[in-house]
Structure formats: structure tokens, C-alpha cells
Structure 1
Amino acid sequence: MRLIGLYVPVIKALTVAMIATLLGLMIVEVVMRYVFLSSLIWAEEACRYLLIWSSFLAAVLAYERGELANVELFRQRLPEKARLMVMIAGNALCIAFLAVLVWYGSIFASRVGGQPIPAMRFLLGDLFGPDFPLPSMFWVYISLPLGMALLAIRMSVDLVRTATLLLKGGETGTGAQGA
């Protein structure tokens, strides 16, 4: 459980770095395009991939802060033990769904991820020649299973905490998503 103390700040730092890079690239691209009437071939594609990665990592941060969609009207009207059981069932269902996304996302990434990233052909292929190993689309496609695995790990921590509360007969804490 202590690893969560490191887990979330590392994800936050990665997400902030990706968004800062994305913002910087977008500013450079706008200036290049409208001031210098030239464009970076790879910037738009890099921004797209940074947005994909940062979105899946930010899902963990949104869960941590309780900012994911959450229907509490029904749950708030339940007695404490029933509320804890509903929270456990909800987290278990979400974790199962995330496991399916991780499984099939990994299969998809490994099957179709071998193609090179298109903009890298222009950037690295021209610089280093056609035999230079180019980054593949695998690194884009693997963002979904990795992001969902990180979210499932974080939800599993809340599942264990909530189950512990239920077994001890305790009150609901103030953790992520009400757990």
C-alpha cells in the first residue's frame, strides 16, 4: 500500500511532462506554420500520440481525485455495510472490465503494432538512412492497456481498503471515488 505514495506522483509527473511537451510542440508548430510559413512534418503526429498517452495516464489521476463519472445518489441512501458492498462490487466490475481492455489491447498492440510510425520515416529515415530501426505503432497502441492496467492497480488498492473496512465494520473513508 505504501507504493501508492510513489505510484501516483510518478504518473502525475509523466502526465505533466507529456502535456508540457505537447503544449510546447503545438506552440512551435503554430509559430512555424504562420510566421515562417513552414511546418514540422512530425509535430502534428507527435502531438496526437502525446495526447493519447497523457489521456490514459490522466485517467489514473482523475480516479485518484474522484473525478471520474460516479453515481452516488443510490449509494448514499444505503446503510453503511450495504454501501461498502456496493462499492466493492462496483470496483470489482470495473477492474474486470479494465482487465478485458488490458488483455485485448495488448493482443491488438502486439498484432498490428509492428508498422513504423509514419512521421518517423521522414524524420529518422532521412537523417539516418532506410536501415535505421524506426519506432513502431506498438508504442502508441500499448498506451491503452498500460493506462488501463495502471487504473486497475489503483482501483484494486481501493477494493482492498473497502473490503478491509467492511470486515472491520468501519465507516467509509475519504479515498478515491468514495472508498
Structure 2
Amino acid sequence: MTTASHPKPPLIIRGYLQTVRVLAGLCMALIVGIMIAQVFARYVVGDSLIWAEELCRYLLIWLTFLVLGLAYSRGEFVALDFVPTLLSPRWKWVLSAVMAVPILFFLGLMAWNGYDYAARFDRQTIPALDFIWESLTGAPLGLSIRWVYVSVTVGLSLMALHVIADLIVRFRPEFLNNFDPKDAAPAPSGDLS
């Protein structure tokens, strides 16, 4: 839904959002499919897929970090919006830009530390994928578990892109051209005398 405070994003941003939605949907479809296979194997066949829970956990981690940015772009995070509702659109954007600085700093710091943490596990492999691949081909896949842990870095970087994209989408040239300091406070609603 497009409003005055959230105009329709440019084509590149819409394409990016659609790509993230598709990837998140694929992760969810895989989780559901694997869990259905697990229930079938356990209760119908009488045997359990020992790799299903682990693989679903990793997919859920990636899914979470993918939809984190989508939730931000849709305004679905808990927010205290008392002050922004009192401001004009220009000052709402200024407040958003000021608030984006510590948010982006935090996201960058956490993404950096997430990457550092993921790098420590480069030699450890993903057991579930090794088991599946070895049962199919006779040799383990050897995919590093770093690809699971790097989801923190990727997810927080995507979140930073959503914060930046939100500022760009809501920015309009008329904010700078007609910047008036008296818009900082709302007009009085009535005479107090």
C-alpha cells in the first residue's frame, strides 16, 4: 500500500523486494516439505529422517534473516510513533535520517562480528548435508557450516539496505527546496486564552 509517507519504490527496489520474497518463500516451502516428509517417514514408514531437523533449522535461520528486512520495509517492527505523528513529512524524514545513523552503525557492527564469528567455523562441515550427499554419492559434500553462520552477516547487511532504501524512497526533492524551520512544531490546535 502506497501512502504519502511511503511512495511507490523505484523498479530496482521492487525487484529486490520480490527476489527476497521469492527466496523466503522457497525456504518456507522447503521447510514444510521436509517436515511433511519427516512426519510421513516417522509415522507411516516407521523410520526417521535423521537430517530433517538440522536442515530445517538452518533454513529457518536463513528465512528469519531474509524476512527481517521485509518486516522493516513494511513497518512491522514495534515502534513508538508518538513524536513522528506530531511532525510534518519533512521533519519525519529528518527524524528518520537521524535515527538511521545509530541503527546502521549497530547493524554494521553486528554484521562485521557475525562475519568474524562465521569465519572461525570454516573447517567444520554441515552434518545433515554431508549425510544426505554421502548416502547419494558415497562421499560427503564437505560444505562449510560457515554458510549457515554467515546468514547473520547477510541478513543484517540486507536490513541495512532496507533502512537506506526506506530513506531514499521517502526522500523527495521538495523537502530540501521548501525546507521551513517552522514545520518543526505542529500548528496549535486552538486558542488557550
- Equivalent runs, 1:13-162 vs 2, <5 Å: 13-129=22-138, 132-162=140-170
- Aligned residue pairs, count: 169
Q: Secondary structure at the match of 1:115?
A: coil
- 1:141, CA displacement in angstroms? 0.4
Contact 1:92 1:159 in 2 (8 A): no
**CA distance 1:79–1:9, shift in 2 (3 Å):** closer
Contact 2:41 2:48 in 1 (8 A): yes
Deviations along 1:39-98, one digit per CA (max 9) or x if unpaired, are 112111110011000110011211121112221112212344433221111122211111
- 1:149, CA displacement in angstroms? 0.8
Report the structure number with the largest CA radius of gyration: 2
- Whichever residue aligns with residue 68 of structure 2, its letter is A
Contact 1:87 1:162 in 2 (8 A): no
Contact 1:29 1:40 in 2 (8 A): yes
Question: When the two structures are superposed, what TM-score results if normalisation uses the length of structure 1?
Answer: 0.84
Contact 1:112 1:138 in 2 (8 A): yes
State, as a whole percentage, how many aligned pairs show the same letter.
Answer: 34
Deviation larger for 4-13 or 79-88: 79-88
Q: CA RMSD in A?
A: 2.1
Deviations along 1:95-119, one digit per CA (max 9) or x if unpaired, are 1111112111111111224301122
Stretches of 4+ aligned residues off by more than 6 angstroms: none
The separation in 2 between residues aligned to 1:82 and 1:11, in whole angstroms, is 30
- Structure 1 gap segments, 5+ residues each: 171-179
Question: When the two structures are superposed, what TM-score results if normalisation uses the length of structure 2?
Answer: 0.78
- Whichever residue aligns with residue 159 of structure 1, its letter is L
**CA distance 1:41–1:161, shift in 2 (3 Å):** same
Q: Does 1:11 align with 2:20?
A: yes
The separation in 1 between residues aligned to 2:176 and 2:48, in whole angstroms, is 60
